[in-house]
Amino acid sequence: MPDRPETDAPEDAPQDVPRGAQLSRTDRSRLRRSHARGSFDRDVVNAILDAQPMCSVGYVIDGRPYVTPTLQWREGDRVYWHGSSASRALRASREAEVCLTVAILDGYVMARSGFHHSVNSRSVMLFGRAQLVPDAEKEPRLCAFVDRLWPGRAAMLRPNTETERKATTLLSMPIAEGSAKVRSGPPVDEPEDYALPLWAGVIEVQTRATGLTPDPRNAPGLTPPDHLRHFRPVG
């Protein structure tokens, strides 16, 4: 539930040109409900994308929707994802309209009525045409993907073979049309409900790295590299 009962925002004309550090407000991306917590701010969008590699990519086959869990990474004002060149998801997304969504759950918001329960969360929905990343750009982009997760690791890896590069498809999309939505804080109940003798509040939730499991087949004497020390799966 939103903080306050609200009516839909009035229709404004779609604005296709990004204004400064804002994503464009189009008919597709304009938040109609709970707009008080919505944002077109590029910094807010970027921070959410950077905090959670996991995303859901939506695409259409034969008029029907598909949502595939995928990993995304951001470089500047573009978002990237990758997979098998034979993947149905990537073939259906390539040069087609997609919706890429990232959602981070920060807490369960427990209110005094069912209606006012909610979650604290940060989410982004991005819309656009997924573009095929040209062959020559594959290698640097994949290295950036690895290094964003673990700085310096790309250079330590056995280099990709030509066969592996061919088997890999990269897609990307400008971060241009979309929005972020953020909710935080305690529940917002009806004024008369605050007196009820029922505990209300937030169960804080966090995703954490809980440990390292070395590959039993590691060469003897290896220790976890430095780039693992500060790894945070969700920031």
Ligand X SMILES: Cc1cc2nc3c(=O)[nH]c(=O)nc-3n(C[C@H](O)[C@H](O)[C@H](O)COP(=O)(O)OP(=O)(O)OC[C@H]3O[C@@H](n4cnc5c(N)ncnc54)[C@H](O)[C@@H]3O)c2cc1C
Site string for ligand X, 10-39 (x = CB under 6 A): ------------------xxxxxx------
Q: Is residue 68 close enough to count as binding ligand X by CB under 6 A?
A: yes
> What residues contact residue 12 under an 8 Å CB cut-off, 6+ apart?
25, 30
Q: Rounded to whole angstroms, how far apart are CA atoms 116 and 106? A: 17
User: What's the CA gap between 129 and 178, in Å, rounded?
Assistant: 12
- Start-to-end CA distance of the chain, whole Å, equals 25
Stretch that binds ligand HEM, among 54-62, 110-118, 208-216, 226-234 (CB under 6 A): 110-118
SS3 29: coil
Angle, alpha carbons 49-170-180 (nearest 5°): 20
Q: How far apart are CA 95 and CA 69, in angstroms?
A: 19
Per-residue binding letters, 44-63, with ligand X (x by CB under 6 A): ----------x---------
Q: Indicate whether 119 belongs to the interface with ligand HEM (CB under 6 A).
A: yes
Contact call for residue 182 and ligand HEM (CB under 6 A): no
Cα gap 111→1, rounded to integer Å: 10
Instruction: By CB under 6 A, name the one of 46, 93, 168, 179 that touches ligand HEM.
Output: 168
Q: Counting contacts by CB under 6 A, is residue 166 touching ligand X?
A: no
- Tokens 């609200």 sit on residue: 6
Q: Does residue 43 belong to the site contacting ligand HEM (CB under 6 A)?
A: no
Residues lying near ligand HEM in the complex (CB under 6 A): 1-2, 33-34, 71, 82-84, 108, 114-115, 117-119, 142, 145-146, 149, 160, 164, 167-168, 183
Residues lying near ligand X in the complex (CB under 6 A): 28-33, 54, 68-71, 81-84, 87-89, 103, 105, 119, 121, 123-125, 178-181
